[in-house]
Structure 1
Amino acid sequence: MTGRHPEGGEHQVSSPEDPTVQAAGCVLWRRSPDSGELELCLVHRPKYDDWSWPKGKLKRAEDALAGALREVAEETGCRAVPGAELATLRYLANGRPKQVRYWAAEAVACAFTPNDEVDRVLWLSPEAARARLTQPHDRPLVDALLTALRRARAAGGPQ
């Protein structure tokens, strides 16, 4: 997928041979403590005034899944258990190609503290999360997560 996206940042892992910025993130989910219904976590980044999935640039030589879980912890305060790998999004960010790999991840313990990078998190139903996401290219990940959770449930795994 290609489009304009207003991201910048510190960890731009690329080489002269491949200028693509490598990043990773998670579609973080939990069961509501009140209703038991599925909820997805979105983060608000004040620098861009947008709502997105927790994600970020990989550090040099960092494993993509490890980087995705690190970004979840930094941005949401959540420890997460990774599940299926979801889509890889490709788009332009600040005029450079960017590739973001995503995983489904279940939040198992959270303690969010607002910071300069992320000032709010929201736990929303899949439908509300899809509507709140700022970038249209992020929305198909809602369906990708729902499909992955259905497959895991059918295989006898966690839901």
Structure 2
Amino acid sequence: MESDDEDLVGEGSLTAEEEAELVDLIQDLIGLMLSVRIEAEPPVPGVAERLARQIRMGIGEPDCRIQVSDDGADAVLGPMRLDADDSAGALRSAMITLGGSWGDVVNITTSTDPVHYANRAAVDGPDEAGVARIHLWAANAWDLARYIEEHS
């Protein structure tokens, strides 16, 4: 009987390059991701990316990628080398890096694994850049994508 891996490949075989790309993709999907969303009116371009860069350095992940949304209100960091099973810990580290008074870390139940969430408001209304609230989510990439899909 053929193994599951052989079923996925079919009758052909993967080249070494294709196999390496597949391994990288799988590692990305199970890797820890952290999402930053900026709530501001009007939208303030560049702030989410700036905060994502600050988090990236503060949690010791200088090489992880940052992807920014077209409108600049969202930025996603990852995958990170940090333990994907400790997304709550990674979220707390990001909160400490950004400073300020955060609420509790909330464990959001999804159809797969949990996504951890926290947010904080700017003190006494929007800050000097116009940011009113910062939202953070942390989970492995697969679960974070599933959460976004379920809540959009």
Taking structure 2 as the reference length, what is the TM-score of the superposition?
Answer: 0.32
Higher relative helix content: 2
Q: For the pair shown, which has the larger CA radius of gyration, 1 or 2?
A: 2
Taking structure 1 as the reference length, what is the TM-score of the superposition?
Answer: 0.31
